[in-house]
Amino acid sequence: MARSNLKPNMEITERFINYTKFDTQSDDSSESVPSTPKQLVFAEYLKKEMEREGLSDVEMDEMGYLYGTLKANCKKKIPTIGFISHYDTSPDSSGKDVKARIVKNYDGGDIELSPGIVSSPTKFPELKSHVGEDLIVTDGTTLLGADDKAGIAEIMQAMCWLRDHNEVKHGDIRVAFNPDEEIGKGAHHFNVEKFGCEWAYTIDGGDQGELEYENFNAASAKVNIKGVSVHPGYAKGKMINASRLACEFCAMLPHDETPETTEGYEGFFHLIGMQTSTEAAKLSYIIRDHDRDKFEDRKAFFEKCARIMNEKYGEGTVEVLLNDQYYNMKEKIDPNMHVIDIVLQAMMQSGVSPKVKPIRGGTDGAQLSYKGLPCPNIFAGGVNFHGPYEFVSVQVMEKAMNVITNICEIVADYND
């Protein structure tokens, strides 16, 4: 277990690397909250850090949701706003024993993470945008955890900066850190009423300048197929091979509507897991589309495929279970575009060129927006999330921190 060597107002690089020492992977097969107990170890560490750095009203509930406040430093009436990041990391790649290191003044060439493991701009062209910067990388055996520990580091560093620069006026600023975002449950137990903000921002986006207030509508889909196992030598007219039916079901879905073949606003069906035998098969899918009507059409088509197969092989052979996960936050942000205008102004003041684009995924902010808390997503700086080639630029993290402090300063004049 990582141990705290916390000191007040540590630099953002040290703060972030400290965070990566904690293994906080979430688990989508778990029914507990948080989904893994090791997340609470890091949450306790964060709670102590928040208290030591001078935040007020610091509390953590039994599910690991952390809340705190940087108190206003002026008397005028200012909207209370918030900043949110999640502390779990993806189940897609190991988060244990992360060995983060800094590549100073990146020269644009290959980065040897470990012998035989190379991060190359020929495979990851995003590296080319960070020549001359200091990049934090892994050793090629784990993810880094910039998604979203970079966001936490940026929020904490911004709160420390504002604490130490009393000449910059601001209202009450709320911060929150939560578990289980990576498995789509991060906002499920978030207490919006307790958070008490007029609006907020998740610091959970990608590379510098990204600002997102459109995301996929999302559903999970489970397909259960019942087969009949008979000796293959005597199977004619009797066997129902669930493995083969699983392949048949997959083939019914459009081949050009997968993550590998789509971009921008294009939706998809994504097969994320399969367990098959002659007697039974289970398929796990996610269904995504930015357009709500097309999203509903995709779910209806999925169920239609099951009906067609049941007509062919017998009622009850194929069962589809659909579960909506989140919806496009744009519907809730459009009536509150001031929250976007403020970020755009803050980015320009920070020397950051805004890159407004739709999220080809989800964010806690989507669910929070539907809970009544308008909550667009701002870049945290990480690139190549969820895998061993993940990296984050120190300079981009500093820019994100600057955007946060500028937002707070701009909001201080909101009612003027």
Domain CATH number, residue 266? 3.30.70.360
Domain boundary among 262, 297, 325: 325
Residue 86 annotated as lining a ligand binding site: yes
The catalytic residues are 88, 181
Domain CATH number, residue 68? 3.40.630.10
Task: Please report the pLDDT score of residue 2 as a whole number.
Answer: 36
Q: Is the pLDDT of residue 3 over 60?
A: no
Q: Is the pLDDT of residue 4 over 60?
A: no
Contact 346, 403 (CB under 8 A): yes
Encoded amino acid at 331, one letter:
E
Q: Where are the beta strands (DSSP E) in 138-279?
A: 173-178, 199-205, 210-212, 217-226, 268-276
Alpha helices, DSSP H, located in 180-238: 192-195
Domain range spanning residue 394?
Answer: 12-214+329-413
String of DSSP letters for 12-75: HHHHHHHHHTS--B--TT--SSSSSTHHHHHHHHHHHHHHHTT-EEEEE-TT--EEEEE--SSS
Average pLDDT, integer, range 344-368: 92
Average pLDDT, integer, range 39-56: 98
Residue 147 annotated as lining a ligand binding site: yes
Whether residue 80 sits in one domain with residue 226: no
Task: Please report the pLDDT score of residue 391 as a whole number.
Answer: 98
The percent of residues in the chain predicted with pLDDT above 90, rounded, is 92
Predicted TM-score (pTM) of this structure? 0.86
Whether residue 231 sits in one domain with residue 162: no
Whether residue 240 sits in one domain with residue 107: no
Whether residue 73 sits in one domain with residue 32: yes
Whether residue 358 sits in one domain with residue 344: yes
What radius of gyration do the chain's Cα atoms show? 23
Average model confidence (pLDDT) for the chain? Answer: 95
* pLDDT-derived band at 295, boundaries 50, 70, 90: very high
Q: Does a structural domain hold residue 244?
A: yes
Q: Is the pLDDT of residue 55 over 60?
A: yes
Task: Please report the pLDDT score of residue 416 as a whole number.
Answer: 65
In whole angstroms, how far apart are CA 399 and each of 380, 409, 412?
9, 15, 20
Residue 386 annotated as lining a ligand binding site: yes
For residue range 235-268, list pLDDT tens digits in order. 999 999 999 999 999 999 999 999 999 999 999 9
Q: Does a structural domain hold residue 225?
A: yes
Structural domains of the chain, count: 2
Domain boundary among 325, 349, 384: 325
Q: Is the pLDDT of residue 8 over 80?
A: no
Whether residue 71 sits in one domain with residue 41: yes
Residue 204 annotated as lining a ligand binding site: yes
Q: Does a structural domain hold residue 6?
A: no
